């Protein structure tokens, strides 16, 4: 893979009295860590087989099909010592992955050119066996515990309060209005460091309050010195970007905070106007923010005064998928800034950044990870269901109608009762309102059928599977909403809004819904397809059992997934318990479910699902072949 970064070092200019300190999370180091982690993963895959990339990997980004993108490396990295590699082949593999259906955005794919490229030559990082890197690796031959940086800072006191962390009273009052009174461990550890201007790397389980750990100090610093665009927060998915914007506004609107959400799938003119108004905080997906800056001739200076850059879900952002966009954004944001990385799953790239020895005169970033024996929360009950793949449908129907008894009682669906007075009124007015009563009876019958269905998220690996399951449940008279990248952004937001407000009890989504979404009422997560990586599993099941509540996660294991579930159990350090269901009762609905699936399949075929994405994919492949032929 080829990369490009800016030749500027990444420092923070923070004055405390007469002292000047700087930190080390510069774009050069971030990009090098990404590359090193990628190469390490390729060379050290001991028996785990080739990783299968999730359908949602390129959820909010467009493919870059030209030979530019990240064609040149920063002068600090290369100095002309790199060797070329076949980038076109890598890109072609990304497009033509035969194992899973592509899940890209519907916008037409077009090549991006990075600004300020003076040379057209392609320079790559030299290989691991090259002498230049061998010399570096020999100098670092001493074995270092990869967890050392995360245990360097002491655990904060349980007596810590928001006031003792340095937050002002108006912000504390805003927190009380949303029933947040005491900081969590990750918040207690990181807020003071971010307030002081230090770079920060934070890791904690899902649902532990990571968002507020960086949002609170950012809002506090803006309140003290408000101006222009203060902070840029980058996320891998659109839905997470909208959620982060909402949380910033909840705590910051009383203080006059303004935000802008810049994501794909929405009107670019409106977003350009929002960017022109210079809000205090920009929450964006990298691809659309790059598009806006490139398309605006005067956009080069819009981010020139940014003080803080946040990478939320940093493990996902620090992958080759987002490398071109991150490199471009690093070139647009000032080198003297604060950078914060937060994630629930600490990747090798983040480990390398945390453990890297800083150059002379520079401080290491503040690093804190909440210690735990497992990668998932203790109140989450994790189970598996081992069944043949052909009969998953009736088992899903049975689980929804007969949820496990150990679901947190506070999250169980409340029965909808019709009071006697209402019934009597309906009977008296029956002659006058026959049609209305008929509709009411049908509605009540449907509510009685769904009375035991808890708030549930069903995760699938492919967009087509998610949409088919949605249509299947609708045929079975179970209200559900889909969430995947083949939907338009307004449709996605509408689905999420209906589920959050509990208008429907079932959300069927791909991994686009697994990152960061905070819906406290979710009581059950069902993995229709077993996750291909333990990180995906952690983020999926993290949608339930949040903020101290209980929850249950059920993973359906088929004959193809035995090795996967073992790897997941080893990584999360938890052994899943088997879920036993009465097979005879489950299969009573086999014919009913089979008919519903046939009807759903026909409806999906007639709707032309995925045709536009297939056309765009074919165009991308054709463009890649043309570019490859031109380069040869």
Residue predicted with more confidence, 508 or 41: 508
623: confidence class by pLDDT, cuts 50, 70, 90: confident
Q: Is residue 466 part of a domain?
A: yes
Which range is least confidently modeled, 98-112, 288-302, 336-350, 364-378?
A: 98-112
Q: Is 491 exposed, middle or buried (0-12, 13-18, 19+ CB in 10 A)?
A: middle
What is the pTM (predicted TM-score) of this model? 0.69
Residue predicted with more confidence, 346 or 464: 464
Which range is least confidently modeled, 103-117, 429-443, 565-579, 595-609?
A: 103-117
Q: Which two tokens stand for residue 572?
A: 């999360």
> In the predicted model, is pLDDT for residue 506 greater than 50?
yes
168: confidence class by pLDDT, cuts 50, 70, 90: very high
Query: What separation in angstroms does the CA of 164 have from each of 155, 350, 365?
Result: 15, 29, 22
% pLDDT > 70, the chain: 67
Tell me: the pLDDT tens digits for 376-412? 888 899 999 999 999 999 999 999 999 988 776 545 5
Q: Is residue 342 part of a domain?
A: yes
Closest CA to 255 of 140, 167, 136: 167
Which range is least confidently modeled, 30-44, 102-116, 221-235?
A: 102-116
pLDDT at 515: 86
> In the predicted model, is pLDDT for residue 16 greater than 70?
no
Quick one: 273 and 336 in the same domain? yes
Q: Which H or E run includes 472?
A: helix 463-475
We report the CATH number of the domain holding residue 175 as 3.40.50.300
Report the pLDDT averaged over residues 184-194: 95
Counted domains in the chain? 2
Q: Is residue 203 part of a domain?
A: yes
Q: Which two tokens stand for residue 352?
A: 């390398």
Quick one: 163 and 287 in the same domain? yes
pLDDT at 291: 92
Q: Is residue 88 part of a domain?
A: no
Report the pLDDT averaged over residues 17-26: 45
pLDDT at 464: 94
Quick one: 481 and 521 in the same domain? yes
35: confidence class by pLDDT, cuts 50, 70, 90: low
Q: Is residue 531 part of a domain?
A: yes
Quick one: 361 and 468 in the same domain? no
Quick one: 286 and 387 in the same domain? no
pLDDT at 24: 52
pLDDT at 19: 35
Biggest alpha carbon–alpha carbon distance for the chain: 91
Closest CA to 515 of 321, 311, 369, 231: 311
Report the pLDDT averaged over residues 3-28: 41
> In the predicted model, is pLDDT for residue 20 greater than 70?
no
Tell me: the pLDDT tens digits for 419-450? 334 444 455 555 555 555 555 565 555 554 44
> In the predicted model, is pLDDT for residue 559 greater than 50?
yes
pLDDT at 435: 58
Q: Is residue 111 part of a domain?
A: no
Which range is least confidently modeled, 81-90, 175-184, 321-330, 430-439?
A: 81-90
Contact (CB, 8 A) for 32 and 10:
no
pLDDT at 166: 94
Quick one: 182 and 238 in the same domain? yes
Residue predicted with more confidence, 134 or 357: 357
Quick one: 333 and 468 in the same domain? no
pLDDT at 39: 61
pLDDT at 614: 83
36: confidence class by pLDDT, cuts 50, 70, 90: low
> In the predicted model, is pLDDT for residue 3 greater than 90?
no
Report the pLDDT averaged over residues 616-621: 86
Report the pLDDT averaged over residues 170-182: 92
CA–CA dist 365, 393 (Å, integer): 49
Strand boundaries in 442-505, DSSP class E = 456-459, 480-483
Report the pLDDT averaged over residues 190-210: 91
Report the pLDDT averaged over residues 128-153: 50
Cα separation of the two ends of the chain: 18
Q: Is residue 130 part of a domain?
A: no
51: confidence class by pLDDT, cuts 50, 70, 90: very low
Report the pLDDT averaged over residues 195-203: 93
Which range is least confidently modeled, 37-51, 119-133, 217-231, 538-552?
A: 119-133
Which range is least confidently modeled, 9-23, 156-170, 177-191, 273-287?
A: 9-23
pLDDT at 608: 86
Residue predicted with more confidence, 390 or 352: 390
Contact (CB, 8 A) for 496 and 366:
no
Report the pLDDT averaged over residues 495-507: 93
Quick one: 339 and 387 in the same domain? no
Contact (CB, 8 A) for 530 and 480:
no
Quick one: 363 and 490 in the same domain? no
Range of the domain at 227: 145-369
pLDDT at 407: 77
Q: Is residue 172 part of a domain?
A: yes
Quick one: 405 and 492 in the same domain? yes
pLDDT at 432: 54
CA–CA dist 609, 464 (Å, integer): 8
Report the pLDDT averaged over residues 136-157: 61
Closest CA to 530 of 336, 347, 331, 387: 387
pLDDT at 99: 40
Quick one: 360 and 308 in the same domain? yes
pLDDT at 537: 93
Closest CA to 90 of 10, 161, 2, 219: 2
Average pLDDT in the chain: 76
Quick one: 467 and 331 in the same domain? no
Closest CA to 346 of 371, 382, 310: 371
Report the pLDDT averaged over residues 45-72: 37
* φ and ψ at residue 15, rounded to 5 degrees: -100, 125
């Amino acid at each position: 893979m080829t990369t490009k970064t800016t030749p500027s070092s990444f420092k923070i200019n923070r004055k405390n009295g007469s002292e000047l300190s700087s930190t080390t999370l510069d774009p050069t180091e971030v990009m090098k860590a990404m590359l090193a982690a990628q190469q390490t993963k390729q060379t050290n895959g001991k028996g785990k087989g080739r990783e299968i990339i999730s359908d949602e990997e390129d959820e909010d980004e467009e493919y870059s099909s030209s030979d530019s993108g990240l064609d040149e490396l920063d002068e600090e990295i290369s100095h002309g010592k790199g060797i070329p590699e076949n980038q076109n082949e890598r890109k072609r593999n990304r497009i033509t992955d035969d194992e899973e259906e592509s899940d890209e955005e519907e916008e037409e794919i077009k090549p991006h050119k990075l600004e300020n490229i003076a040379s057209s030559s392609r320079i790559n990082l030299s290989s691991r066996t090259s002498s230049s890197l061998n010399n570096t690796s020999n100098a670092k031959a001493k074995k270092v515990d990869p967890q050392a940086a995360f245990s360097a800072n002491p655990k904060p006191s349980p007596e810590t309060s928001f006031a003792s962390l340095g937050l002002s009273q108006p912000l504390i009052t805003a927190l009380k209005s949303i029933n947040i009174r005491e900081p969590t461990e990750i918040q207690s550890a990181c807020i003071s460091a971010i307030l002081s201007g230090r770079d920060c790397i934070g890791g904690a389980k899902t649902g532990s309050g990571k968002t507020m750990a960086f949002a609170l100090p950012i809002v506090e610093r803006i309140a003290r010195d408000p101006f222009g665009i203060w902070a840029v927060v980058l996320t891998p998915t659109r839905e997470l970007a909208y959620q982060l914007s909402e949380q910033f506004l909840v705590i910051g609107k009383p203080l006059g905070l303004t935000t802008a959400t810049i994501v794909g799938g929405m009107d670019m003119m409106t977003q350009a106007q929002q960017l022109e108004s210079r809000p205090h905080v920009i929450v964006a997906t990298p691809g659309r923010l790059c598009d806006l800056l490139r398309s605006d001739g005067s956009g080069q200076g819009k981010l020139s005064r940014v003080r803080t850059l946040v990478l939320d879900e940093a493990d996902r952002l620090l992958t080759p998928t987002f490398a071109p966009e991150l490199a471009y954004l690093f070139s647009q944001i000032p080198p003297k800034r604060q950078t914060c990385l937060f994630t629930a799953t600490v990747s090798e790239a983040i480990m390398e950044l945390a453990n890297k020895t800083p150059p002379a005169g520079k401080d290491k970033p503040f690093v804190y990870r909440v210690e735990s024996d497992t990668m998932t929360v203790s109140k989450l009950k994790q189970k598996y269901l081992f069944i043949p793949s052909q009969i998953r449908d009736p088992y899903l129907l049975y689980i929804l109608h007969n949820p496990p008894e150990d679901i947190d009682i506070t999250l169980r669906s409340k029965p909808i009762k019709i009071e006697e007075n209402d019934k009597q009124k309906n009977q008296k007015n029956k002659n006058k309102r026959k049609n209305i009563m008929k509709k009411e009876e049908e509605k009540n019958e449907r509510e009685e059928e769904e009375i035991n269905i808890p708030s549930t998220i069903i995760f699938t690996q492919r967009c087509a599977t998610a949409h088919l399951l949605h249509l299947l449940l609708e045929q079975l008279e179970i209200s559900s909403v889909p969430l995947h990248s083949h939907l338009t952004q307004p449709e996605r937001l509408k689905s999420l809004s209906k589920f959050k407000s509990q208008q429907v009890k079932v959300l069927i989504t791909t991994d686009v819904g697994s990152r960061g979404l905070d819906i406290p009422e979710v009581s059950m997560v069902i993995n229709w397809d077993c996750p291909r990586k333990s990180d995906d599993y952690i983020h999926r099941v993290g949608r339930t059992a949040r903020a101290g509540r209980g929850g249950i996660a059920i993973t359906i294991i088929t004959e193809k997934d035995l090795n996967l579930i073992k790897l997941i159990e080893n990584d999360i350090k938890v052994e899943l318990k088997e879920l036993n269901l009465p097979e005879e009762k489950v299969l009573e609905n086999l014919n009913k479910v089979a008919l519903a699936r046939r009807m759903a399949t026909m409806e999906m075929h007639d709707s032309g699902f995925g045709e536009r994405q297939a056309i765009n994919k074919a165009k991308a492949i054709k463009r890649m072949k043309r570019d490859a032929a031109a380069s040869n």
